[in-house]
Structure 1
Amino acid sequence: MKYIIILGDGMAGEPLECIGGKTTLEQALTPEMDRLAKMSEIGLVSMVPEGMAPGSDTANLSVLGYNPEVYYTGRSPLEALSIGVGMEEDDVSFRCNLVTLTEDASLPYEDQRIVDHSSDEINTRDAGVLLEVLKEEVLKPGFELYRGTSYRHLLLWKNGHEMELTPPHDILTNQIREYLPGDPMLLAMMKESYRVLKEHPVNLKRKAQGLRPANSAWFWGAGKRPKLPDFQEKTGKRGVMISAVDLLKGIAAGSGMKIVHVEGADGGLHTNYEGKAQSAVRALLDEGYDFAYIHVEAPDEMGHQGSVEKKVRAIEFLDQRLIRIVREAMDSSGEPYRLLILPDHPTPIAARTHTADPVPYLLYDRKRPENGAESYCERTAVQSGRWEKNGYHLIEHLFEY
């Protein structure tokens, strides 16, 4: 038996008047998921424990069967594992976003507003140039800066201390003053980053092209080195992780799963969906792995952008350019398999950030008779009457047969 999880990050949402009271998942044309829904168990699952922040970090730990209340030590340490940063016992790592702030010359740094948490999804090449400038002109002694992917990077504080900091995607359009770090060194580096980046040639070129500048570093997601039980020892399944996002690669590295790198997979709307699908099929059918986790970031990113059209398109791409390919290949192989499709958390368009609400899941098994739901969406999940409160148990349900 082969097992597959396909995760559309932030795919769930809330009804919107502009599309007739539907969610973006309902609005999207998803013939593949709707076809599977008729032969699947549909239900709701809560991936974020009560009282914890609804991040992709806590939620994806749950999806993989790790109780976040036990194993979560912060988002950035998981990303550090992916990048290959060795953390000592007393080190603290932070996510370093390259963000877009307003550039009102009449206002101090503290009174600028946050425009975009991703600087128009800046490419890794341009981000790397800006990070070198930060290393040379901004970093203080005791800190190290490491390049990640796109706007997502890592700050390591040797013998540092943890603190609560606000994710930039939670405060889009807000004045930043009340969300800045209280630590004077972190704050000084953020302010200095704004000074050196806003007139940098990379950003001047981006603005000339109609793109948002990456004009400030933003630190958040602090934590210490995580310790995750080995996935294969825990479940008995040899697993692979397919994702463009350092967070997911870090969870895989920390749990002993193989990380599959897919060319052209960048976490954006036009990521390499087909390449991810083909890599999963190859791992399962040719390389003998038991379990594949395929993570797609695009619906979440489009939710943060507040774009109904782009989020709908991301879900449709996921359906036709990834799920369909995986399903057809697995069916053709004759290999028995079970498939779980779900988001990790909602990213509603109106909120433009994550919520902790339960998400719809679809659990498909070819042996199941056609007595499922008419379609896969939040509405049919609610109508099913099924709800798993502790999301970290859902993978056990996937592995039951």
Structure 2
Amino acid sequence: MADTKILFLVADGMGDWRVDGLGGRTPLEAAPTPNMDSLASRCIAGTISTVPSGMPPGSDVANMSLIGFDPAAHHTGRGPIEAAAQGLKLRPDDLVWRLNLVSLTAPDAMGTMLDYSAGHIDTASSLPLVEDLEHHLGDDTFTFVPGIQYRHLLVQRGGANSPEAAFAVRPPHDITGQSIAQDMATLATSPRLLALFHAAAERLNTPANATRATGIWPWGQGRPLALPDFSDAYGLRGAVISAVDLVKGLGRASGMAVIDVPGATGLLDTNYAGKVAAALDFLNTGGQFAFVHLEGPDECGHSGIVADKVEAVRRFDERIVGPLTQALAGTDTAIVVTCDHFTPLACRTHTTDPVPFLLHHASATAHGLPGFSEAHAAATGFTISPGHDIVRRILEIIRP
């Protein structure tokens, strides 16, 4: 089995708690998932502790674990990961912030976070806004870097050694509907960052801006990212397939191929077929480890809309898991199905719960589950902790 290939299928934020409106079931239990259930009928299943103790349960931390690297040793912040995705040329002492375009009731201590994504603003609408901010507000210290949709970057030259490097501005998706007074108090200790925040709000709140973006939100800052080479670490030629810069950055920083799929949006309407085709093409042309990431369930968890999250799980099963397992039937491919973290509808943000996973392969026969769910996976008692051991443990199972 030395030539066994590995396919990781990751539904971001799919894990959840039981929902009263679903008859006490989780979205994973409520959604029709015949393909995941079929894989679970003969597999090795359990849970993965993707978030090290004391670290925030973000997708940056959790996906770094799933790719096989210890966040406690390598994680510097969310902004630096997304900078790696863009191939930004950074100095060692630069500070890179994730910069959301957001909707605020007011850009001050009396304000409330209405929407962490400015109404899921599209890239065509957000790009000119960020370019305008860079043109009018960028200087020798701060550089606005356009990304996609609501996700952008702010580079603070030489900022890694500044007081701002230690700022704990909360992730905007954690505070939907809440006061931003706590975060404004933090920003207020940096006159230059606070001035930039207010100046950006002034430029965004004009009749020329027809979007819901009324402010910027700098968070997740850190020094430039450096990861070990994935191929050197695991002896596998790997690739990541995702709509979001976060996952692309982890892939690029670790020397993996980063495959862009046209029409991949990170939402319910993403190009599922394109992701399937990209994964199959990679595995059929010498690739050995394909990490296919779907953002939709996480976005639906943040929205708090139960029906949408159930639908996101259903589409993951029908349009990602099903076609890939059918296409790879009869090949020596180990299929892993999991999520990076829970995004419970009840709290609309990430939690540190260990995530369910299954490994389907001819050598993985310890468990026969009635279906794939958080409860069924946990009931096996098999746990991978620390979570970054996942790739190594899978290799031990399929290549004894």
TM-score for both structures, normalised by structure 1: 0.93
Percent of counterpart pairs with the same letter? 38
Three-state SS of the structure 2 residue aligned to 1:363 is strand
How many pairs were matched up? 386
Structure 1 counterpart of 2:228: 229
Q: Which residue, 13, 16, 29 being the options, matches 2:16?
A: 13
Take 2:367 and 2:84, find their aligned partners in 1: how far apart are those partners?
43
The answer to whether structure 1 residue 126 and structure 2 residue 107 are counterparts is no
Query: Aligned-pair RMSD on alpha carbons?
Result: 1.4
Take 2:69 and 2:29, find their aligned partners in 1: how far apart are those partners?
30
The answer to whether structure 1 residue 310 and structure 2 residue 308 are counterparts is yes
The residue type equivalent to 2:194 in the other structure is L
Structure 2 counterpart of 1:69: 72
Structure 2 counterpart of 1:91: 94
CA 1:370–1:43: 2 relative to 1, 3 Å: closer
Three-state SS of the structure 1 residue aligned to 2:109 is helix
Structure 2 counterpart of 1:271: 270
Take 1:202 and 1:328, find their aligned partners in 2: how far apart are those partners?
47
The residue type equivalent to 2:345 in the other structure is I
The residue type equivalent to 2:101 in the other structure is L
Structure 1 counterpart of 2:288: 290
Take 1:366 and 1:188, find their aligned partners in 2: how far apart are those partners?
59
CA 1:200–1:260: 2 relative to 1, 3 Å: farther
Quick check: 1:340–1:361 contact (8 Å CA) kept in 2? yes
| Shift in Å, 1:335 | 2.1
Spell out the pairing of 1:204-353 with structure 2 (5 A cutoff).
206=211, 213-285=212-284, 287-331=285-329, 334-353=330-349
The residue type equivalent to 1:84 in the other structure is G
Structure 2 counterpart of 1:184: 191
Quick check: 2:64–2:70 contact (8 Å CA) kept in 1? yes
Three-state SS of the structure 2 residue aligned to 1:14 is coil
Quick check: 1:165–1:222 contact (8 Å CA) kept in 2? no
CA 1:99–1:39: 2 relative to 1, 3 Å: same
Output one character per residue of 1:29-50: Cα deviation in whole Å (capped at 9) or x when no partner. Answer: 1111011110111211110001
Three-state SS of the structure 2 residue aligned to 1:109 is coil
The residue type equivalent to 1:192 in the other structure is A
Structure 1 counterpart of 2:372: 376
Take 1:352 and 1:252, find their aligned partners in 2: how far apart are those partners?
27
Quick check: 2:367–2:380 contact (8 Å CA) kept in 1? no
| Shift in Å, 1:363 | 0.8
Take 2:13 and 2:365, find their aligned partners in 1: how far apart are those partners?
29
Q: Structure 1 residues 189-198 or 267-276, which shifts more? A: 189-198
Take 1:102 and 1:32, find their aligned partners in 2: how far apart are those partners?
44
Runs of 4+ in 1 over 4 A off after TM superposition: 367-371
Take 2:172 and 2:181, find their aligned partners in 1: how far apart are those partners?
12
The answer to whether structure 1 residue 58 and structure 2 residue 52 are counterparts is no
Q: Structure 1 regions of 5+ residues with no counterpart?
A: 207-212
| Shift in Å, 1:305 | 0.8
Take 1:255 and 1:178, find their aligned partners in 2: how far apart are those partners?
36
Q: Structure 2 regions of 5+ residues with no counterpart?
A: none
| Shift in Å, 1:389 | 2.2
TM-score for both structures, normalised by structure 2: 0.94
Structure 1 counterpart of 2:52: 49
| Shift in Å, 1:271 | 0.6
The residue type equivalent to 2:77 in the other structure is G
Take 2:131 and 2:326, find their aligned partners in 1: how far apart are those partners?
45
Output one character per residue of 1:357-397: Cα deviation in whole Å (capped at 9) or x when no partner. Answer: 11111111145559510111111012111122211111112
Take 2:312 and 2:208, find their aligned partners in 1: how far apart are those partners?
32
Take 2:281 and 2:122, find their aligned partners in 1: how far apart are those partners?
28
Quick check: 1:126–1:202 contact (8 Å CA) kept in 2? no
Output one character per residue of 1:151-198: Cα deviation in whole Å (capped at 9) or x when no partner. Answer: 000100110131222110111111111113232222221222222212
Quick check: 1:27–1:312 contact (8 Å CA) kept in 2? yes
Output one character per residue of 1:184-235: Cα deviation in whole Å (capped at 9) or x when no partner. Answer: 22222122222221224342xx4xxxxxx01111000100012211000000
Structure 1 counterpart of 2:385: 389
The answer to whether structure 1 residue 29 and structure 2 residue 32 are counterparts is yes
The residue type equivalent to 1:347 in the other structure is T
Structure 2 counterpart of 1:79: 82
| Shift in Å, 1:75 | 0.9
Quick check: 2:105–2:111 contact (8 Å CA) kept in 1? yes
CA 1:369–1:390: 2 relative to 1, 3 Å: closer
Take 1:116 and 1:197, find their aligned partners in 2: how far apart are those partners?
15
Quick check: 1:240–1:259 contact (8 Å CA) kept in 2? yes
Structure 2 counterpart of 1:171: 175
| Shift in Å, 1:288 | 0.7
Three-state SS of the structure 2 residue aligned to 1:110 is coil
Quick check: 1:140–1:185 contact (8 Å CA) kept in 2? no
Structure 2 counterpart of 1:199: 206
Quick check: 2:64–2:388 contact (8 Å CA) kept in 1? yes
The residue type equivalent to 2:395 in the other structure is F
Three-state SS of the structure 2 residue aligned to 1:393 is helix
Three-state SS of the structure 1 residue aligned to 2:73 is helix
Q: Structure 1 residues 137-146 or 56-65, which shifts more? A: 137-146
